[in-house]
A = this chain, B = another copy of it.
Amino acid sequence: MKQLLLLAAPLLMAQAPAASPPPSLVATSADEIANAAPANHWLDISPDHIMVMDTAVGQMVIQLAPQFAPMHVAAIQKLVRAGRFDDGRIVRVQDNYVVQWAAKPEAGKQPVSQPPDVREQRLRPAPLPAEYERSIDDVAFAPSPFKDSYAEAGWVSGWQAARDSSTGTVWLAHCYGTVGVGRDMPPDTGDGAELYTVIGHGPRHLDRNIANVGRVLAGIEPHAALPRGTEALGFYKNEKQRVKIARVRLASQIPGFPRWQMMDTASPSFRAVVQARANRTGFFIRQAGAADLCTLKVPVRELK
């Protein structure tokens, strides 16, 4: 059976070594570089910024990005702490696009249904402002050395991002595993009670059109493998098809939940990861010499 090629890890899961050797900056694989990166090339992720979602098909661990969408993240944290996502539903799976899920409507026991009725809308939290991009002031943007089809690609504190120098703004890029906030047609209707993650080619055309609030750290696989919805836009047809969310907690609410780290994108180790992903060896007989932003994922790891 042909291997086809080296591992393209969805989001790199390196085990933290007990004692980290100095980073090797010679051309090795991204995994090897991550495994060799010293402790000070990693950034801790606050357990208040990790959302743990237990569904009927598995556990999805999501990192929130308050530096990009502070009001949305605060609203989501509040919903989580209030148990609003418990007994929620995955309501939509569209091939090469998104898995989308919704908090349980507050108005009693009725199942999630589409479209939402007026009563449900009224009971939802107030709409949030359009936190689709932020000022480039006070953030350190590490530019990608490679071309980008959409804007200037790069990284901000461990996140795949893009910037527009003419508007002076920076935003989280839509890539595989990015988590965003669903909204209706007006741009201010997202309230954090309906979220999605990308399960296809990075839909960068969504950048600056919707609030990105985070990314999946682990557990996307069984959710990306859910049956695609048969209704328009991949919505599930009825309650029987929807996938139950047992509960959602912040990692800070779960005693003993593992710590997570992301690689510091300003570190020499990350620069080496970028070069390794652009110039793959082994199976590869010809190096691309470049890579697009969504391919240049930031290594993350669970500390065990």
Contacts and interface: CB of A to CB of B under 8 A. Distances in A.
Interface of A: 1-5, 7-8, 10, 91-98, 100, 102, 112-116, 130, 132, 146-150, 175-177, 180, 182-185, 187, 189-190, 194, 196, 199-210, 220-222, 224-228, 232-233, 235, 277-278, 280, 282-286, 288, 290-295
A225 to B, nearest CB: 5
Contact of A183 (B2, B220, B228): B2
A292 B204 contact: yes
29 contacts: A1-B113, A1-B114, A1-B115, A1-B235, A2-B183, A2-B189, A3-B184, A4-B100, A4-B180, A4-B196, A4-B233, A5-B210, A8-B96, A10-B97, A93-B225, A95-B220, A95-B221, A96-B220, A132-B286, A147-B149, A150-B288, A150-B292, A185-B282, A187-B285, A200-B201, A205-B278, A205-B295, A222-B227, A292-B292
Contact of A209 (B148, B177, B228, B285): B285
Given A183-B2, A210-B4, A96 B194 contact: no
Contacts of A130: 285
Contact of A7 (B176, B233, B295): B233
A4 B176 CA distance: 16
A244 to B, nearest CB: 16
What is the oligomeric copy number?
2
A293 B149 CA distance: 9
Max chain B C-beta neighbours (<10 A), residue from A93, A205, A227: A205
A225 B228 contact: yes
Contacts of A175: 201
Given A201-B202, A225-B228, 15 more contacts: A1-B92, A1-B113, A1-B235, A2-B189, A7-B233, A8-B200, A95-B220, A96-B176, A96-B199, A146-B149, A185-B282, A185-B283, A203-B295, A205-B291, A209-B286
A184 B2 contact: yes
A40 to B, nearest CB: 29
B290 A150 contact: yes
B2 A204 contact: no
Nearest to A95: B221
A291 B151 CA distance: 10
A283 B204 contact: no
A214 B182 CA distance: 34
A149 B291 contact: yes
B182 A2 contact: yes
Nearest to A6: B233
